[in-house]
Amino acid sequence: MENDFPIKQMVDVNGNLVMEEYQSQITKELADAFYKNMLRIRTFDKKAISLQRQGRIGTYAPYEGQEAAQVGSALALEQDDWLFPSYRDHGATMTFGHSIRNILLFWNGRNEGCIPEKGKKVFPPGIPIATQLPHAVGAAYAEKRKGTKNASIVYFGDGATSEGDFHEGLNFASVLNAPVVFFNQNNFFAISVPMSKQMKTSTIAQKSLAYDIPGYRIDGNDIFAVYFYTMQALERARNGEGPTLIEAVTWRYGAHTTADDPTKYRNQSESEARKKETDPILRLERLMKNNGWYDETKKEAWLLEASEEIDAAIAEMEKFPKANPADMFDYVFEKPTWGIEQQKQDLLHVLRGEN
């Protein structure tokens, strides 16, 4: 089955174009936009890990190594589209226009972190695995019923494909012909469980066959493949042709979260090798150098700009008071049940140091 879903690639690891038909569309302007955004979100990721280690934010989910998958797919969206992230897709939400301050507030436990910029349709990050997939289908179907050309994209990892919500989401989308793109980032590990232990199929893309929808397997570290195949899937959605499943094959260098130790279950030497060979930012740099587009001065300016932007957002985030853990009970139901209210009062007693 793997042969039926080959990995589609436009630019190889050495920065060479391997799909000549796209040559006219791979421009310096597009490469610059990709490069600037990938540098920006990698800078954020490194600073966020540092903040967590300093105790300035809570547990954090890093994504270094997955920048091409997140930036390329997010830049394919249009202004009025919907974005449904998992807890690891803040690189995509940043690229789509979500507030960096609010992303940081989310990782500090404040409700403001779930609020997107005005006019942006960004759903709160899905913490329970795969629950955001049916939500994305519902939003897409609502847009279809309203007669718009707006589409949804929903992000999830390989572990999410073992959840019922994945299958329910794809089934509903298929039956309703909903304008939604299911964007899987296959990192080969669901926390500590390798792909071989959670599914028998050799690819995730082939799961599309069960729902009679198109499925593509792309090189998730090739930002041009990510961008153009996501764009193609979104165009299908806008034209009333229904959903698409995309499997972006990638690799995350670091831990599942800052509370995790990947050395317990994964050979980290492979991550070190991939940083030198298949890193998405290095691949784009190689293409830019091959075409005479690379500018070291511009790179340094973009890195400085990103660093200053993120530092300003950190300063804003730290002006907020610490989150009140009891707030978690307030929005479970419109009117709290006695059980929820009792749990809240019990927690308040603990926070106040009462017996």
Consecutive 10-residue averages of pLDDT for the chain (355 residues): 90 94 92 98 98 96 98 98 98 98 96 92 96 98 98 97 97 98 95 92 97 98 98 98 98 94 88 92 98 98 98 98 90 91 93 82
Catalytic annotation present for 135: no
Q: 15 burial class (0-12, 13-18, 19+ CB within 10 angstroms)?
A: middle
* Predicted local distance difference test score (pLDDT) of residue 355: 65
* Predicted local distance difference test score (pLDDT) of residue 353: 86
The listed CATH number (3.90.1150.10, 3.40.50.970, 3.40.50.300, 3.30.465.10) that belongs to domain 2-321:
3.40.50.970
What is the CB-side half-sphere exposure of residue 190 using CA atoms within 13 A?
17
Q: Which of 252, 253, 283, 294 is catalytic?
A: 252
Rounded Cα distance, 175 and 328, in Å = 35
Rounded Cα distance, 313 and 291, in Å = 35
Q: Sort strands 189-190 and 193-194 into parallel, antiparallel or unpaired.
A: antiparallel
Catalytic annotation present for 265: yes
Q: State how far the alpha carbon of 315 is from the alpha carbons of 98, 105, 310, 311, in Å.
A: 17, 11, 9, 6
Q: Which of 256, 283, 286, 294 is catalytic?
A: 256
Q: Where in the chain is the domain with CATH 3.40.50.970?
A: 2-321
The answer to whether residues 166 and 156 touch, using CB atoms and an 8 Å cutoff, is yes
* Predicted local distance difference test score (pLDDT) of residue 320: 96
pTM as predicted: 0.95
Which residues have a Cβ under 8 Å from the Cβ of 196 and sit 6 or more positions away?
none
Q: 153: closest CA among 130, 177, 137? A: 137
* Predicted local distance difference test score (pLDDT) of residue 260: 92
Pull the structure tokens for residue 71.
């930036």
Catalytic annotation present for 56: no
Q: What are phi and psi of 176, to 5 degrees?
A: -90, -5
* Predicted local distance difference test score (pLDDT) of residue 233: 98
Q: 39: closest CA among 95, 104, 86? A: 95
Q: Which of 53, 145, 265, 349 is catalytic?
A: 265
